[in-house]
Structures are given as C-alpha cells and as structure tokens.
Amino acid sequence: MRTRTRFSRMLVGGVTLGMALSLSACGDDGGSGSSDGKIHVLVYGDATNKVEKAVVAEFNKTSKVKAVLDTIPGATYQQKLQTIINTPQAPDVFYNWGAGSIQPFVKAGLLMPLDDFIKDDPKLKSAFLPSVFNAAQVDGKSYGVPMRGTQPVLLFSNDKVLKDAGTKAPKTWDELIDSVKKLKKSGVTPIALGGGDQWPTLMWFEYLYDRIAGPDLLEKAVGGDKDAWASEDSKKALNKLKELVDTGAFGTNYDSVKYTDGGSPALVARGKAGYELMGSWYYSQQQENAKEFAEKDLGYNSFPTIDGGKGDPANVVGNTNNYYSVMKKTKHPEAVAKFLKLMYSDKFIKQQLAIGNLPTTTNTEKFLDTAADPKYARYQFDLVKKAPSFQLSWDQAYPQSASEQMHQAVQQFFNGSLDVDGFIKAMQALPTA
Amino acid sequence: MRRRPNYLAGVAAVAWLIIVALPLYVMLSATVQSKGDYAKGSPLSWPEHFTFENYSGAFDEGFGQFFVNTLIVTVAVVGIVVVLVPPLAYAVVRSRSRVASGVFRLFLLGLAIPAQAVIVPMFYLISEAGLYDNLIGVILPTAAFCLPISTLILSGAMRDIGHELFEAMAVDGASPRRMFLQLVLPLSKGGISTIVVFSALQAWNGFLFPLVLTQSDSTKVITLGLYNFQTEHGINVPGTLAAVFMSMVPILLVYLFARRALVQGLMGVGGK
Amino acid sequence: MTTQLTRAAAPVKSSGRKSGRARGAQSADVGRPGFAWAVPATIFFVLFAILPLLAVAALSFMSWGGIGDPEWVGLDNWNRVFDDPVMIKSIWLTLLLTVLGVVLQTPLSILIGVWAAGTQRNRAVISAVYFVPLLLSSTAVSVLWRALLDPNFGIPSEATWLFGDGNLFGKQTTAIGVLAFVSTWQFTPLHSLIYQGAARAIPQVLYQAAEIDGAGRVRQFFHITLPQLRNSIITSMILMVVGGLTTFETVLILTQGGPGTDTTISAYYMYQKAFKSFDFGAGAVIALLLVVAATIISLIVVRLSGYDKMRSTMEGVS
C-alpha cells in the first residue's frame, strides 16, 4: 500500500525531476519549513496586516523561537495554501475562515487539535465568545483561535433617501416590501446589490433561510442531508426571495454592479439607492469613501423579522471571525501556544479596535470606548453577544470546493435562469464535508 | 519620397487613440485623488483636488524592496532568453537537421502550455531543487515560459533575412558560427529587441510563479505587493491604481529605450 | 580570391565531422548550423516546461485534491470531463471567443502596425501610447474597465441610448462582447508591434516602383504590404489562437465565468476545477485538451500557410 502511494506521489512530484530524483531519495526535508528554529505564520495579505505584524514583533521580543510573518496576496490565499499545506514549505500557524475552510485539512490529519493547549491555558477558549470560538470546531475538537474581528451582516441604509420616499428602516419583512415599493416610486433603486461579485447576493439567501427555517437547515445540509434543501421551509424562503427580486427591488442591472470596485456602495452614498445588505466592514468603507454621507445619513439595522419564521429574530449571519490553526508537524508547539495567547491580550484587542476590527473576546466590551467608532462597535458587539446563533456565511461553512458552484447557482436564481427546483438541485449537488 | 498625408488613416488612428487612452486617463486621474474624491465623481471626471498620498502610500508598503526584486528577476530572465533563443532560432531556421524542425514543433506545443496547468508540478520541482522562496526559483520557470513566444518571433524575423546573403557568405567559406555572429545577429537586432521587450514584460508582470514559488517579504515582487492596498472586502481603487502605475513606469522606459534599437535594427534590414 | 578558396574548404571538413550526414549534399549543408545550436535552449525548456507537462498528464489519470496522496483512477477523470455539460458548453464558448479575437484583432492590428511603421514623428508618439495597455497587469485592466463600464457611474450611464440599463455583465451576449472587446484592447498592441516591425522591413523600392506604375494607396496595401506581411500574419495568428484558447485571466477578473456559467471558457473552467474545486485530476484533463488543441491548430496554420515549406522552396532554388 505504502509503496503504491509513494509511487504515485513520485510521479506527480518526481516526474518533473529527472535530475532531482536522486535528491528526493535522500529524504523529504529542505525548504524553509519549521526546521529552522522559527515558526512561520501565514496570513491573508491585505491592508490590515499591520496588527499581525505588531503581534509578531511583540512575540519576538520575549521568545527564543522567533516568529516570521508571511503574507499571501488576498484573493489567491486559498490557492497557495492548498498547494503548500502538505509539503515541507507549509507554515506552522495559518489564517483561515474556520469550519469548512479547514475541514479537509483536519480530515487529512494535518492539523493539531488545540485541546491540549486549552488544558494548559483554559483562557485560550474561555476568553472568547462561545458562538465565535465554536465555529472553528470540527468533530467536537477545537482547531482555531479567533485572530481578527467579527463581521456580522447588517442592512445598511441611506436615511435621507428613505425619508424623501416617505419610508423608514423596516422591522419586518412586510415593512421591507412596502419600503421597497415606495423607494421604487420615488425613482431610486430600492436596494443596491453588487451582483457582479456574487457573494453579496448570497447574503440575501443566508438571512432568508435563517429567518424562515432557522439555523438547523443549513447545519443539516452541510452535514450531508440533501433533503434539507428540498424541505418546505427551503421552498418558502426561495419564493419570498423571488418575490422580492420580481418587485424590482434590486433594479435590473445588479449583475453588472460590483461591490469590490466601489460601484454598489456609491449607489447608496450618492442617494441613488435606499438599502444595501453587507458585512459590518461597510461602515468603515463608507467612512473612508463618503465621509459626509456616513456621518449624516448612514443607517444600520438588523435584518427584518419574518412572520411565522422558525429562526430567532436575534440571529445574525456573516463572518464569525478569522482563525489561526496550527499544523500538527510544527516543531515548536510551546512557542505556538505562547503566540496564540497574544490573541486575547489587552494590547492586541486595543490594536484591533483602533483599526476598526471588532475582536471577539469576552473582555472586548471593556475596551469598546477605545474603538475607532465606539457607538457602532458597541452596537455590533451587543448584536453578536446576544445572538442565539451566528450563522457562518454559506461559502465558508461548506468546503471551499463548493463555493464556485454555490455562487453560480445564487446568481442564476436571481437572474431567473434557475427556478426554485433548479436551485434546490444545484444546492443538493454541492460537495459536503 | 513624398506621400500625401492619409487623412482617413489619421482619423482612425485618433479614434483608436481615444479608446486606448480613455482608461489610461481614468487610471491617472484616479491615482491623484483621495479615496473619498474618487468615490464621489464619475470615473471620467477631472480630479478636483490633487494629492500624492496614494504614491507615498505605496512606498510605505515596502515598494522599494519589491522593485529591486522585480528588477533582478526581469534582468535575469531577459538575460537567459537573449542567450538561449538566438542560437535556437538560428538552428530552427537554418539547420537541415530533422531534430531542429522537431524542436520547433516542441516549442509550438510549449506555446500552448498554460502556466496554471503546470504550477503544481512546478512547485514540487522547485522545492525539491531547494529553490523555494528564492528569486532563482522564480527566474528559471519564468524564463522557460518566455522561450516559445520568443522563438516564434525571432525565427520569424530570421526567416526574413535574404537567402542570398547566406549564399554569399557560404561562398566566402564562412562557418555557421561566423554567419551567426556577422550576419544573423546584426540583421535580427529588431527581432531581438522585440523578444527583449516581451520577455521583460512577462517577467515584470509575472504573477503566478512568484505567488506559488515565494513566500517571504524579502523575495516579494511588485505584482504581489499590489494586494497590500486591498482588504478582504475593501475597496481602494486609487491606491491600487497608483501602485499599478508605478509598477508600469520602469517597463515603459525599457520599451521606449528598446524601441530605438528596434527601429534601428529594422532599418538596417531595409537599407541593404 | 585565394582566401575565399581556402575558406571554402573548411566547412566541408566541418560538415564531414557531423554525424555521418555528408552524403554528397555538401553544397546545401555548407555553412548550416547543426542541431547542437538548439540544444541548450531545448534542455532548459524540457526541464521547466515539458516535464511539468508530463506530470500533468500523469495527474489526469489520478484523483488528487492537493492534500494527501494521489490515487490512480484510470480514465475516470476523462470520462467525467466529457460527460460534463459545462465542459461541452465551455468548448463552444472558447471557440467563439477565439474566433472573435482573431476576426477583431487581425485587421485592426495590421492597420495600426502599418500605420505606425510610418516614420512621421507624431506616429511615433501616438504608437508609444498604443503600446501602453500591454504594460498593464490583468488586475489593473479589470479594475479600469469595470469602473468604466459601471452601469450607474461609467460610460453606459452617459450613453443610455446605446447601453440601455447598462446590464452588460448580466447577459450572455453582452458579456461575451465585453470580453472580446477588452482582450482586443489589451492584446492589439502586441500584434501591432509585430506588424510594425515587419512593415518597416518592407523594402521601400517596392513602393517606389508601384508609385511609378501609378498604383494608389489601397492597391499598394493589398499588392505589396499584405503579401510582404505574410510571415508576421502567421506568427500573429498563431499567437492569437493559442492566446485565445489559453487566456483566462480576463474572464477570471471581468466576469468570473458568469452570469452563471455563460462565459465559462475551457481555460477558466480548468482553473476553476483545479484551484477552486481542488479537483486536480479534472483540471489536468482540461489542461491537456487545451494544449493538444492549440498545438494542432498552430501546426495546421503552419502547414496550410507553408510557413515551414517556405524554407524548402527557397532552398530548392539554391
């Protein structure tokens, strides 16, 4: 058995080698992995890396084993991680989205369960909000420590546009439909949507399913129960959504609008649309891009309740947090444990708050006044803390390999090329864990 | 020789100029606006307040180091291509050997290999060779993937060298080496500068190989650094475009410089 | 004279040294390089491009998700790929976009290349600008065109008579149109540059002679310029076809294969399979199909055009 897998491995790696075959016979090490008395920390490379840089610097002040921060350009992070994770070049600690994003690695036996670390230092678990911490558990074991901020999805609005149309932010679904009709009459696009990016569209599905069917449906579906998608609740949610699309709530050209190039937030900021459903990062985005609007007219609300729905109206969906997971083969587990402890240190929490992130430790509350925007930070924190369930974005709850097909189905349902049954079939075809 | 000016061509040329220049204008005007100003106007509007914060921001993100790395990679790749391709193209065009025409087909096949397709084996190759996270590990595959197009272009250029010139030298008793040095190289200057430009472009804008084959900041190239301006869900169009523009300037200079060589080389052919 | 004679003796000797190919064909082989000239580049290329490709070929018979060990599955991946309706659709889309690319870019880049070959100073300046799109990374190209084509704030909002509600990326026909246009924008400079170089190399005497014969500009173009550009047209067409078959970045960034799978071309589908779904086996199959298709098409172009025979006809003369 062993020789066979070895052989096929050699074909993939070794066929390329001709020359280097003799080298590979000498063994598998080499490369810059964990053998050099350092721990490598791999993170998603973007403009918020400064906090991670500061944490590493802080750690290196006292630790004999030094940490090295490696950043991978954002959009390609997953591709690179998948390429190196089972090679000597794998990092010791790496950034991920919890749940579905680490499940394949857990299955392949690559990750270290953190339960021993937690036994030695219970605060590694107890210092974090349970709903967030638990999102990185697989098969009852903990594999991740929260390391950035939580990002619930909220219904943002341009309150001036709402007022001009004679409506206000909705508490219930019926109010939302009514508000959409009034906005449409007043000549604006009721709801801005960056359909070109596909994931903003998905947020609408997430909330409708959560409100109508409750969080169980998705849990079952991700667990492999295909019937969950064909349930009555599922159909009801889809029909409600269809109804909303058909009233023209999103206009006609949403598939050509992107969030990521500033198209959809500009619609709201410039008074051409009333609402946008987006992650909590939207707030700071508008602060930067449209300060005047953000200070005067930007409203934020939780998603409306739906009569007769099974989900608790206090539930939220979104990105629970990002996590650090640890590779089983790290040579310096003690150093890694020490590094992870910094994730609940006061200093780290303050640094996160200062750049607009909302860390999810239980004592975050104490420091909310130091946040970039204390009022907004408190609103979010209360929302997350009180939520009975925090539904992880579908594309993160499912294995990464499902996300492309999921995004396609979502887009096709919105533009009418998939009907309710077609959508259900597409979701049933997704790979589960 | 005097020729009438060609008005029709002139009009068409200007029309195409507008199509090409419009996005470039959008880029330049975005880079000198603050994020807020950019979000306020249309992409086409003239900047209200000029700012250079986007450019200084790029340097704060470590662009200096990335520049140097990219330069090393580019120079090395161009070096390899210029050393390897002319003899190859010479053999493809002039050799009677069957092997040489087989080689040409091999390179035609190589033209069609998408880098994405071979990236995983490439990763194993480079790490087994101990070149992971090392600029050499980026240079070698990048250069290899420049070879097919360079060979195609240069052998095209060499085919245009008049047959009688070779004949004359053969009568003169010149060795293949002498023909190469004294006839082929001087007459394919234009083609060589074209492949210099192309391979420099490939190396400078290369993304996939550096992405998968390097990891630390000390080996990062510019294309990877462009992402330092974005956040996972964020928008910073002016910052990104400023970085794009800055990364474009050096290669534009290379082109303008090589352009003169290109013109001269080709005029050499015409003058004979 | 004497020096010429003595020199003439040398190559005969050297060709005799070459692996026993001195069968009386000396005169044609005189001064011709042996295949040794091609060896260094070939070794380098085989090592860093062909061998990885062979590994991909091996992968196409394995099931592998990037982690764990690959397993032999025989023809399983191949069967799956050929049974996949998205794959079949992607082949048609690929062909459509490739043909569109050739049809749009060839005339345009010939015209631009020939025009830019003129020695006037303003042409030099303008053609330098033409070249710039080639310098931009695909990320930049996408950000720019996405911004320009935003239905609410970009060009479509200024010209609603032409663009309607501006939903260019929401419908298959317009999405394909945008893709074809943007790649034309991005890659025409490359081809113009090739034609510019070639047009400069056309001997001026040909035009002078035509002028004397009273041939107009249009006739000159069709009777002198075009035939003289033959080699370049072939080179450039091969590049366009191969580029059309393998480029996926424009799709990745502009449409992500959407709406739905309406612009999912094969190369993008390969990328999706390999790096989004981590189904490296299926990705490898599609990659091989692309390589084979592109190679066959370029060989056909070479053969039909007589690109490789051109040499032998000339040699027949000698």
Contacts of A44 in chain B (CB under 8 A): 232
From chain A, pick out residues whose CB is under 8 angstroms from the CB of B40: 270, 290
- Whether the CB-CB separation of A210 and A234 falls below 8 Å is answered with no
Task: Scan residues 138-177 of C and list those with Cβ closer than 8 Å to A.
Answer: 143, 146-147, 149-153, 165-170
Report the neighbours of B using a cutoff of 3 or more CB pairs below 8 angstroms: A, C
Of A23, A265, A291, the CB nearest to B128: A23
Predicted pLDDT at A348: 93
Q: Does A386 touch chain C (CB under 8 A)?
A: no
Domains (range + CATH), chain A: 32-150+320-388 (3.40.190.10), 151-318+398-428 (3.40.190.10)
Task: Assess A408–C contact: CB distance below 8 Å, yes or no.
Answer: yes
Fold type of domain B54-271 = MetI-like fold (1.10.3720)
Q: Do residues A162 and A191 lie in contact, with contact meaning Cβ atoms separated by under 8 Å? A: no
Quick check: A13 contacting C, CB < 8 Å? yes
Sketch the domain layout of chain C as residue ranges.
91-265
- Residue B98 burial (C-beta neighbours within 10 Å; 0-12, 13-18, 19+): exposed
Q: pLDDT: is B41 or A408 the higher one? A: A408
Give the tens place of pLDDT for each residue, A11-26.
444 444 443 333 333 3
At B237 the pLDDT is 82
The residue written with tokens 């006839």 in the block is B183
What gap in Å lies between CA A366 and CA A140, rounded to an integer? Answer: 30
Selected residue of C135, C141, C253, C313 to mutate for chain B interface (largest B Cβ count, 10 A): C135
Q: Does A432 lie at the interface with C, CB-CB under 8 angstroms?
A: no
Residue-wise pLDDT for A293-337, tens only, equals 999 999 999 999 999 999 999 999 999 999 999 999 999 999 999
Predicted pLDDT at A424 = 97
| CATH domain C91-265 topology | MetI-like fold (1.10.3720)
Nearest chain C residue (CA) to A19? C47
Chain A residues lying within 8 Å of C54, measured CB to CB? 15-16
Which residue of C45, C158, C297 is the best one to mutate when testing the B interface, meaning the one whose CB has the most B CBs within 10 A? C45
Can you list the residues of chain B whose pLDDT is less than 70? 1-5, 258-272
Is B89 within 8 Å of B155 (Cβ atoms)? Answer: yes
Q: Which two tokens stand for residue C283?
A: 């990705």
Chain A, window 74-103: residues with a beta carbon less than 8 angstroms from a chain C beta carbon: 78-79, 82-83, 85-86
**Cα dihedral C250, C252, C254, C259 sign:** positive
- Cut 0.80: pTM above it: yes
C258 and A408: CB-CB below 8 Å? yes
**Distance from the A46 Cα atom to the nearest Cα atom in chain B, whole angstroms:** 5
Q: Mean pLDDT score of chain A, rounded to an integer?
A: 89
Residue A391, beta-bridge partner list: A317
Check CB contact of A288 with chain B, cutoff 8 Å.
yes
CA distance B27 to chain A (A): 13
According to the model, what pLDDT value does residue B189 have? 79
What pLDDT, on the 0 to 100 scale, is given for residue B272? Answer: 26
Q: Does residue B35 sit at the A interface (CB-CB below 8 Å)?
A: yes
ipTM of the complex: 0.84
Q: Which residue ranges does chain B devote to CATH 1.10.3720.10?
A: 54-271
**Vertex A79, ends A331 and A393: CA angle to 5°?**
100
pLDDT tens across A349-383, in order? Answer: 999 998 888 999 999 999 999 988 899 999 999 99
Q: How far apart are CA A358 and CA A280, in angstroms?
A: 10
* Number of CB atoms found within 10 A of residue A308's CB: 7
| Chain A residues within 8 A of B124 when measuring between CB atoms | 12-14, 16-17, 87
How does pLDDT run along chain C (318 residues), one tens digit per residue?
A: 333 333 333 333 333 333 334 343 444 566 788 778 889 999 999 999 999 999 999 999 998 887 777 889 989 999 999 999 999 999 999 999 999 999 999 999 999 888 888 877 788 788 888 888 888 877 778 778 888 888 988 888 888 888 888 899 999 999 999 999 999 999 998 888 888 878 877 888 889 899 898 888 889 899 999 988 887 888 888 888 888 887 788 888 788 888 989 999 999 999 888 888 888 899 999 999 988 888 888 888 877 776 655 543 333 333
Question: Nearest Cβ partner of B227 from A30, A73, A88?
Answer: A73
Q: Would you tell me how many other CB atoms lie within 10 Å of the CB of residue C73?
A: 16
